[in-house]
């Protein structure tokens, strides 16, 4: 559908521009420099955009960053509306995904993979 394609395009533009705004324009010391925008979901009627972020750091740092982003959403929305022209501009809401425990689990899995001996290679001789 054309509407779905339009929303996907809006989501991609929001992802790119919100990333730039946070990195280069937002001067909030409570936002971690290790913040990554992972996904944007905008409702079809353009009422809301849920912006999913990942923050490297402790649970306290993650929650502090998401609170700061939600506190700064008016500034971010203002910057976005100057870059992306929409008749109706959605309200922004930031949500945390990818907690520290899941990041640690990924590193554990990667370590376990790299530590396994490669028996297949030694039996080829």
3-class state of residue 17 by DSSP: helix
Total domains, the chain: 1
pLDDT of residue 124: 52
Asked whether residue 123 is assigned to any structural domain, the reply reads no
Distance CA 117, CA 49 (A): 47
Asked whether residue 124 is assigned to any structural domain, the reply reads no
Whole-structure pTM value:
0.76
Q: Which domain holds residue 88?
A: 2-116
Asked whether residue 121 is assigned to any structural domain, the reply reads no
pLDDT of residue 58: 86
Residue 100 pLDDT greater than 70, yes or no = no
Residue 106 tokens read as 């990924």
> What is the per-residue pLDDT across 8-67, written as a single tens digit (0 to 9) for each?
999 999 999 999 999 999 999 999 999 999 999 999 999 999 999 999 888 899 999 999
Asked whether residue 125 is assigned to any structural domain, the reply reads no
Dihedrals phi, psi of 90, to nearest 5 degrees: -70, 150
Q: What percent of the chain has pLDDT over 90?
A: 70
Q: Which of 109-114's residues contact partners 24+ apart within 8 Å by CB, and which partners?
A: none
94-115 average pLDDT score? 74
- How does DSSP assign 37-101, residue by residue? EEEEEE-TTSSEEEEEEEE-S-HHHHHHHHHHHHHTHHHHHHHHHHHS--SS-PEEEEEE-S-HH
In sequence order, the 6+-apart residues with CB closer than 8 A to the CB of 33 are none
Residue with the bigger pLDDT between 103 and 84: it is 84
Asked whether residue 32 is assigned to any structural domain, the reply reads yes
Asked whether residue 90 is assigned to any structural domain, the reply reads yes
77-100 average pLDDT score? 91
Asked whether residue 84 is assigned to any structural domain, the reply reads yes
Cβ(66)–Cβ(51) below 8 Å: no
> What is the per-residue pLDDT across 21-38, written as a single tens digit (0 to 9) for each?
999 999 999 999 999 999
pLDDT of residue 120: 53
Other Cβ atoms less than 10 A from the Cβ of 24: the count is 9
Residue 2 pLDDT greater than 70, yes or no = no
**Residue 25, domain CATH:** 3.30.300.20
């Amino acid at each position: 559908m054309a509407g779905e394609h339009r929303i996907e395009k809006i989501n991609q533009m929001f992802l790119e521009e919100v990333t730039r705004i946070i990195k280069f324009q937002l001067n909030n010391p409570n936002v971690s420099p290790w913040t990554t925008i992972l996904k944007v979901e905008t409702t079809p009627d353009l009422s809301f955009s849920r912006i999913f972020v990942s923050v490297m750091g402790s649970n306290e740092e993650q929650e502090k960053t998401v609170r700061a982003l939600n506190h700064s959403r008016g500034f971010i929305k203002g910057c976005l509306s100057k870059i992306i022209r929409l008749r109706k501009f959605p309200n922004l809401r930031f949500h945390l995904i990818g907690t520290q425990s899941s990041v640690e689990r990924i590193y554990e899995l990667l370590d376990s993979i790299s530590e396994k001996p490669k028996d297949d290679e030694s039996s080829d001789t």
